[in-house]
Amino acid sequence: AQSVTQLGSHVSVSEGALVLLRCNYSSSVPPYLFWYVQYPNQGLQLLLKYTSAATLVKGINGFEAEFKKSETSFHLTKPSAHMSDAAEYFCAVSHFGNEKLTFGTGTRLTIIP
Amino acid sequence: KAGVTQTPRYLIKTRGQQVTLSCSPISGHRSVSWYQQTPGQGLQFLFEYFSETQRNKGNFPGRFSGRQFSNSRSEMNVSTLELGDSALYLCASSLSGQAILNEQFFGPGTRLTVL
pLDDT of amino acid B101:
67
* C-alpha to C-alpha distance for A78 and A61, rounded to whole angstroms: 9
Q: Higher model confidence: residue B96 or residue A87?
A: A87
Mean pLDDT of chain A: 92
* C-alpha to C-alpha distance for B45 and B59, rounded to whole angstroms: 8
Lowest-pLDDT range of A21-25, A76-80, B79-83, B92-96: B92-96
pLDDT of amino acid A2:
83
CB contact under 8 A, A100 and B98: no
pLDDT greater than 90 at residue B95? no
Q: How many A/B residue pairs have CB atoms within 8 Å?
A: 67
pLDDT of amino acid B100:
62
pLDDT greater than 90 at residue B27? yes
Partner B, chain A 3-42, Cβ-Cβ below 8 Å = 32, 34, 36, 41-42
pLDDT greater than 70 at residue B1? no
A19 φ, ψ (degrees, to nearest 5): -105, 130
> Over pLDDT 90: what percentage of chain A?
75
Q: Chain B closest CA to A106's CA: distance in Å?
A: 7
pLDDT digits (tens, 9 = 90+) for B13-25: 999 999 999 999 9
Question: What residues of A are in contact with residue B89 (Cβ under 8 Å)?
Answer: none
Count other C-beta atoms under 10 Å from residue B46's C-beta. 22
pLDDT greater than 80 at residue A99? no
